Amino acid sequence: MFNNKFKYSFKSILGHYLLLTIFLCSKLFGQDLATPVNSAFFREDQIYIGISLVSLKSNVEDFKPRALSRHFQWGIIRDIPLVSSSKFSTGLGLGMSFERYNTNLSYSEEIGYTFSEIDLDFERPLYFSIQSFEIPITLRWRNATFNDFAFWRIYGGVSLNWNFKYKAKQNSNLILFSDELKKWGATAHLSFGYNTWNFFIAYRLNPIFSSIPRNNNDFSIQFTPIKFGLIFYIL
């Protein structure tokens, strides 16, 4: 059930991702040089950076959040206009996501996973964090023009996630549950705003874990995050 070692080196993956980001940015932003200035057609290729607070839903009544759960994301998006005015388009991106969850979930070898009622040293709940690659696929509307870089926008779509690293810790002890964590996920998201500043809402379409047995029995614990925050688009 438990793995002693994690297969992937985060520093190595992050280094390769940064090199890929630099390469793609050079390709994305060196775009459409032959398009005349008076043309209505344009692309809005972007770098995005987002930060959110996370509300967790669970199928267990004893579940309670502890402190603030949070989410950070960043990446690049290739814009693909659908009409000649470029006001409607799709977007395909590549990014990274970092999530940290604070709950009253706790673990012991004797009884397995349960929920902490009293915040004592030996009962401190665990926190867990997830790092993932994400592929955002969006349908996009904006009232932009070729020469206007400040405009209203509404973007909505789905992000596909590969959860490549996790960490769970209770007191000073690492808790390993790689078998329970879903490696793949999907999140519906909506962003809207003006210019660089935009509100961001996201809802995970599948639970974080395949199952976490409670008190070593067949009843499984599920968590589903809802994210509220800001996302910044940089041209």
pLDDT tens-digit readout, 67-102: 789 999 999 999 999 998 888 999 999 999 999 988
Number of domains comprising the chain? 1
Does residue 56 or residue 216 have the better pLDDT?
56
Least confident stretch, 92-96, 126-130, 144-148 = 144-148
Domain that holds residue 57: 51-234
Amino acid at 55: S
Class of residue 178 by CB neighbours under 10 A (exposed 0-12, middle 13-18, buried 19+): middle
- Reply yes or no on whether the pLDDT at 129 is more than 60: yes
What is the predicted pLDDT for the residue at 168? 81
95 located within any domain: yes
Other C-beta atoms closer than 10 Å to the C-beta of 197 total 10
pLDDT band at 12 (very low <50, low <70, confident <90, very high): low
Q: Is residue 145 part of a domain?
A: yes
CATH label of the domain that carries residue 164: 2.40.160
**One-letter amino acid identity for 168?**
A
Tell me if 104 is assigned to some domain.
yes
- pLDDT of 191 reads 97
Q: How confident is the model at residue 214 (pLDDT cuts 50, 70, 90)?
A: low
